[in-house]
């Protein structure tokens, strides 16, 4: 815990010195990943690994459009007939920056998700979900930022392994932490 706190303090101090400022014509590359385990009565039940990458182009100073790829693998230790499932998803993204100051920013990001491959139970549709929500951005350097994306997912049980149709918030809400790298257009010199 002390290491995490020290890391966050160091991260904050560095970000107070430098910042990233996307502009029209900038290109953003980024990604995030997760690993989680769930337990039932003290025994490990499921483990999930996912990784996501995206790229966007700023068509306006405060608007970017792009694409993302997503891979997820789930393993259920209590299931014997098909304990491992995975899916590979692609989709478009659009992000509107409501506030983009020197050090911090706020945006609304939205994605649509289409499965290229999925062996999840009862997954008979290529459309899996869409995600939308606010994203808090922390500009670390002129080219690097980190973010927390609070996303609502319209899953319709197509990217939910259990297929049981739950009302638990975790089925529809994600908090994703990731990083972005920006390539800026060079200014013309005369």
Within 8 A by CB and 6+ apart from 54, the residues are: 28, 29, 30, 31, 66, 67, 68, 69, 93
pLDDT for the residue 67 = 95
Give residue limits of the domains in the chain.
2-183
pLDDT for the residue 162 = 45
pLDDT for the residue 95 = 92
pLDDT for the residue 16 = 38
pLDDT for the residue 159 = 43
Length of the chain: 190
- Residue 65: closest CA among 107, 34, 104: 107
Q: What is the topology classification, in CATH, of domain 2-183?
A: Porin (2.40.160)
pLDDT for the residue 102 = 72
- Asked if 64 and 22 count as a contact pair (C-beta separation under 8 A), the reply is yes
Q: Low-confidence residues of the chain, pLDDT below 70?
A: 1-22, 39, 42, 44, 77-83, 120-128, 155-172, 187-190
- Asked if 73 and 48 count as a contact pair (C-beta separation under 8 A), the reply is yes
pLDDT for the residue 56 = 93
pLDDT for the residue 188 = 60
């Amino acid at each position: 815990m002390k290491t995490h706190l020290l890391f966050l303090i160091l991260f904050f101090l560095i970000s107070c010195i430098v910042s990233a400022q996307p502009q029209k014509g900038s290109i953003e590359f980024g990604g995030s990943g997760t690993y989680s385990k769930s337990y039932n009565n003290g025994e490990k039940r499921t483990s999930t690994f996912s990784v996501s990458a995206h790229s966007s182009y700023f068509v306006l100073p405060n608007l970017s459009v792009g694409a993302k790829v997503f891979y997820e693998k789930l393993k259920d230790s209590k299931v014997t007939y098909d304990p491992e499932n995975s899916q590979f998803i692609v989709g478009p993204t659009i992000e509107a920056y409501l506030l983009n100051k020197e050090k911090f920013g706020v945006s609304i990001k939205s994605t649509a998700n289409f499965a290229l491959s999925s062996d999840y139970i009862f997954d008979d549709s290529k459309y899996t979900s869409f995600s939308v929500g606010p994203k808090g951005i922390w500009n670390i350097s002129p080219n690097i930022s980190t973010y927390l994306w609070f996303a609502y997912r319209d899953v319709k049980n197509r990217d939910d392994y259990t297929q049981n149709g739950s009302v638990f918030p975790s089925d529809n809400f994600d908090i994703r932490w990731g990083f972005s790298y920006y390539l800026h257009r060079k200014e013309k010199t005369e």
